[in-house]
């Protein structure tokens, strides 16, 4: 087997913290990376599904009824299937607690900030638990700062980061990067800044796709 250094790969995940399929895709690609024994630089790019989400959020049931005109039965079946798919990926989604979609702009700002401490993956894991399992309002500053403390970073510095115009500018640059690929759905994974994998594919499919990409890259 080749040394893992020869297989070094940069993966950027275009995601949103309230996207149900993003934690599934995240866990699956992490499992594929582990199975392939490759060294990866993993980063996140901000994709806000609900830019105009009100401060108090929106009931998920209302969102699907208004946006897609889904019936209660259709939504219930979708959520049942989603919970099962998430469970297979090691993600707990508790719809008895996770009842709202929330604005994620602050969470994305802090995701950019924690990159400087190499804490993005850890921050993402805590956000998954906070929102999908516990149903916490991750638009709230105090909720986010508690997570910042949980991952061992300074909440006062994080609070300042939420007001830093340079971070806002850096986020806009990240958005421009993936917009160049005409990405309109998430999760999407950008490999080495040029090749796209879209959707929350299974672990086996991601192993196949990553392996094929690495083979072509080495050719």
Helix (H, G, I), strand (E, B) or coil at 57: coil
Q: Which domains are assigned to the chain?
A: 4-218 (3.40.30.10)
**Residues 11 and 178: beta-carbon distance below 8 Å:** no
pLDDT tens track for 23-35:
999 999 999 999 9
**Residues 45 and 190: beta-carbon distance below 8 Å:** yes
Identify the DSSP state of 7: G
pLDDT tens track for 128-175:
999 999 999 999 999 999 999 999 999 999 999 999 999 999 999 999
CA-CA-CA-CA dihedral for 183, 215, 36, 16, to nearest 10? -10
């Amino acid at each position: 087997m080749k040394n893992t250094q020869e297989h070094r790969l940069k993966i950027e995940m275009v995601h949103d913290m309230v996207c149900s399929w993003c934690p599934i895709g995240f866990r699956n690609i992490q499992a594929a990376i582990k199975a392939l024994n490759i060294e990866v630089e993993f980063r996140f790019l901000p994709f806000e599904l609900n830019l105009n989400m009100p401060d108090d959020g929106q009931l998920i049931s209302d969102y699907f009824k208004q946006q897609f005109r889904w019936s209660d039965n259709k939504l219930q079946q979708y959520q049942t299937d989603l919970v099962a798919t998430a469970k297979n990926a090691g993600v707990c989604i508790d719809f008895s607690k996770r009842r709202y979609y929330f604005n994620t702009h602050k969470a994305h700002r802090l995701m950019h900030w924690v990159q400087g401490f190499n804490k993005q993956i850890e921050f993402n894991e805590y956000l998954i638990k906070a929102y999908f399992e516990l149903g916490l309002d991750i638009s709230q500053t105090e909720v986010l700062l508690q997570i910042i403390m949980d991952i061992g970073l300074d909440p006062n510095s994080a609070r300042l980061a939420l007001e830093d115009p340079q971070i806002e500018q850096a986020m806009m640059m990240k958005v421009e990067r993936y917009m160049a690929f005409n990405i309109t759905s998430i999760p999407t994974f950008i490999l080495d800044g040029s090749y796209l994998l879209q959707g929350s594919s299974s672990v086996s499919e991601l192993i196949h796709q990553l392996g094929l990409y690495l083979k072509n890259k080495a050719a």
